[in-house]
Amino acid sequence: MKILHFLYDHINNPWVGGGAAVRACEIYRRLSQKGHKITIVSGNYPDTKDYKEDNIEFKFLGYKKNYVLSTFSYAYSANKYLKNHYKNFDIIIEDFAPWNPIFSYKLHNLKPIILHLHHKEGKNILKKYNIFGIPFYVIEKNYHLKFKNIITVSETTAKKFSLKNYKIIPNGIDKNLLNIKTNIGEYILYIGRIDLYNKGLDLLIDSMEVYPLLIVGKGKDEIKLKNLIKERKNIIYKGFVNEHEKIEFIQNSKFLIMPSRFEGQGIVALEAAALGTPLIVSDIPELEYVVENGFGISFKSGDAQDLRRKIKYLYNNESLLKKMSTKGKEYAKNFTWDKIADEYENYIKQVSSNFKASQNL
């Protein structure tokens, strides 16, 4: 199949290069090995250019020198690219973000179209942007209603969007992580996008009194983060690291914290589970599975004091850390990228087949 996928994020994007970008790369690497040809259209950013990796072609559209302009210009450029090139593909997939919808549903009578939903921001949009967030809030609330075929990463996300027809295809992990030796270290770890509000990094910094904390990642709020921690000797910001370094940081930490105000499914939570690293997560519905499956505990979302208490409780509880470590590895066995890619391939083939059948009626 020739697959056209629109996704603003890219793994090397300094502004937005999170789980959605990782997911796309992991799934499509495996599908490309089966002979599928994939074009991923992403947003432009500094020092980037189009490139090809086996059967995957990466194209970058929009303004590249400013994040806000990049986001909005991407929506315009991607829609234009779609109109000019849709005939060359068998199926079209749009990763949704309220900031840059490309209105691919308008072609649903001409090509099979799939919308991909990771998480819902909801009223957090209004909290962050006040009245300027109203258009994006409205888009997020209604956009999915235009689509017949939807992929989402969890039942929680499906419920938040009140979806009726959808396919849950979760995130995954590299199966090789399951074979890496578990090691409970001394430092606490945050790893992910540097977005102070969305990822709850402001809460994490407020809650961290004496314990050593490493922060790993990249994102639009790096300067703000550095200013917040410049007087904090127990907090170290490592910046962006490669995949091998990331795994080592997770493996050798005491536990990992995800203080997010909202999430999709959280690939890093699955990676931590596979490596036997326990977690503390915010009690948002998207991360309930961490607690329900016994490889982490939660704190009240938005409450730095509660997070401080949970850090103190878990840090010296060696027996609980070991129990969580074992349960995490057991849970992660069900979420390898190989399995996820097969499920993804089967679904897009089904959507394509259903579209062809409808055209012959």
Q: What is the pLDDT of residues 93-126, one digit of tens each?
A: 999 999 999 999 999 999 999 999 998 888 888 9
The confidence band for 90, taking pLDDT boundaries of 50, 70 and 90, is very high
In this prediction, residue 127 carries a pLDDT of 83
Residue 262's pLDDT is what?
Answer: 78
Whether pTM > 0.85 for this model: the answer is no
**Structural domain for 232, as ranges:** 175-332
Same domain, 218 and 123: no
Tokens of 319: 């027996």
Shared domain check, 112 and 255:
no
Instruction: Tell me the CATH number at 100.
Output: 3.40.50.2000
Same domain, 110 and 184: no
Interval 162-186 mean pLDDT: 92
Res. 19: pLDDT tops 90: no
Distance CA 361, CA 359 (A): 6
Rounded to 10 degrees, the C-alpha dihedral 12/22/111/81 comes to -10
123 and 187 assigned to the same domain: no
Taking alpha carbons only, the member of 93, 69, 71 closest to residue 82 is: 93
How far apart, in whole angstroms, are the C-alpha atoms of residue 172 and residue 152? 13
Q: Are residues 254 and 324 in the same domain?
A: yes
Sequential DSSP letters for 116-182: EE----TTHHHHHHGGGGHHHHHHHHHGGGG-S-EEES-HHHHHHTT-SS-EE----B-GGGGGSPP
Q: What is the DSSP string of 51-75?
A: EEETTEEEEEES-SS-HHHHHHHHH
**What is the CA angle 230-235-240, rounded to 5?**
90
Contacts of 230 (CB under 8 A, 6+ apart): none
Q: What is the pLDDT of residues 219-275, one digit of tens each?
A: 889 999 999 999 899 999 999 898 899 999 999 999 999 999 877 677 899 999 999
Tokens of 90: 């068998």
Specify whether 16 is located in the same domain as 109.
yes
Q: Mean pLDDT across the chain, nearest whole number?
A: 93
My answer on whether 201 and 221 are in the same domain is: yes
- Total number of domains in the chain: 2
Q: Are residues 273 and 256 in the same domain?
A: yes
3-state secondary structure of 18: coil
Co-location of 198 and 279 in the same domain: yes
CB 2 within 8 A of CB 28: no
Q: Note the pLDDT tens digit of each residue in 322-331.
A: 999 999 999 9
Does residue 163 sit in the same domain as residue 190? no
- 15 and 147 in a single domain? The answer is yes
**Mean pLDDT lowest among 36-50, 118-132, 333-347:** 118-132
| Shared-domain flag, residues 143 and 166 | yes
Residue 307 near residue 297, CB atoms below 8 Å: no
Q: How far apart are CA 280 and CA 315, in angstroms?
A: 11
